[in-house]
Amino acid sequence: MRKNHLIQRASNFLAKPDILFFCLPWLMVLLIVGTIAQKYMGIYEAQKIFFSSWIFFWGVIPLPGGALTLGIIFVSLAIKFIFHSPWSFKKAGIILTHLGILTLLLGGLITAKYAEETFMVIPEGEYLDSTSVYRERTLTLMKNDQEIEVINFANLKKGTLFENALPFSINADFICENCTMSMQNEERSKNAHGLAKKVELVSAPLEQESEGNLGGVMIVAEKTNLDGRHLLMESVADSVTFINAKDKYTITIGRLQRPLPFSIELIDFRKINYPGTNKAKSFESDIIIHDGDVNWPITIRMNEPARYKGYTFFQSSFVERPNQEITVLNVVHNIGQVFPYISSLIIFIGLLLHSFIRLQNKRRKNA
């Protein structure tokens, strides 16, 4: 009996409108502070701290983050909806409207938890079946073009690499999350290969947006066909290959890859410039989505994305090279993207039904 009484009291407390009264202003505070913080710490970090977190710290004081605040609002409205709603036809419109708001909040929580934003860089005439993660980098070992081991760059430490997968020795000598280069000294260049004969990696200050950093590592090879120092750096020298007996071993640095359940082929990329300039006015990509027996041609334009199997492809940017055009697509995978449409429909029906019931009640009173 006492247990039921406590549950009833907790239910009554959580269903109070006071919770919404305090949570909504706090959400506004988070929105303002998080938006200002983006200028100083970057969009990703600000969103992670203020909007996506359950709890964040102001000094030593723990404060509720956006996810926790929305979660409290959702629980409060759900208890109010289930246990304290006036379940009658006269209130059907209000009940449906509350259900629509709950659906919207649930979709927001799912999006915050599971949505992922990646990108694709596709040259004309080629296709990709994976996307690249903006903020996660890896060091990948391949044997005869088959991936055999991957090290997350965030976990990379000085010392032996791929110890159990190589018949020779590779050691990480210097690691930098964001790298620049300086001229190599003459003594070190004698025992170096490739770009490492000319330059050395140097740590640079981290960019506000982590995707702007270029990670790198200097490695030292022993008992290989290319003993000595080698440089690996994103977008500059992203791979080095060693030959051992009849096997080819390649170490690659780059963004973490997310496989797609289909592939995308770039047929044609087009750019329209402003008259008399080389500045792009608009650009678009003709692609074909290959998925088993399905071959779906579609054009992706600025502000006109393509959607397929829960993935949304936006025309983000492009790269121009001599005799080659390359498109850059922003890819968003969000299993909660349907919730705003469902909730909007439910809210619309609820408001329409509420207006109809009110109108009917008014006619009865007038009669």
Question: Residue 88: its pLDDT value, please?
Answer: 81
Average pLDDT of 271-299? 87
Burial class of 201 by CB neighbour count within 10 A (0 to 12, 13 to 18, 19+): buried
DSSP 3-state of 245: coil
* Tokens standing for residue 162: 């791929």
Mean pLDDT, range 89-111, rounded to an integer = 86
Question: How far does Cα 167 stand from its chain's mean position?
Answer: 37
What's the longest Cα–Cα distance across the chain? 102
Average pLDDT, the chain: 87
SS3 call for 69: helix
Cα(281)–Cα(207) distance, integer angstroms: 28
| Other Cβ atoms within 10 Å of 182 Cβ, number | 9
In this structure, are residues 228 and 191 in contact, taking their beta carbons and an 8 Å threshold? yes
Give me the pLDDT at residue 5, please.
Answer: 67
Q: Rounded to the nearest 5 degrees, what angle is found at the Cα of 168, between the Cα atoms of 164 and 172?
A: 80
State the pLDDT at residue 360: 84
| pLDDT over 60 (residue 195) | yes
**Nearest residue to 228 via CA among 179, 175, 168:** 168
Chain CA centroid to CA 326, Å: 22
Judged against a pLDDT cut of 90, whether residue 47 lies above it is answered with no
pLDDT reported for residue 172: 92
Q: How far is the C-alpha of 235 from the C-alpha of 105, rounded, in Å? A: 40
Report the pLDDT averaged over residues 334-344. Answer: 86
Structure confidence at residue 1 (pLDDT): 55
Residue 197 in tokens:
């004969």
What digits encode the pLDDT tens for the residues 248-273? 999 999 888 899 999 999 999 988 88
DSSP E strands, the chain: 55-58, 61-64, 116-123, 127-143, 146-152, 159-160, 169-176, 179-183, 199-203, 216-222, 228-233, 239-244, 247-273, 280-291, 294-301, 306-308, 311-321, 324-333
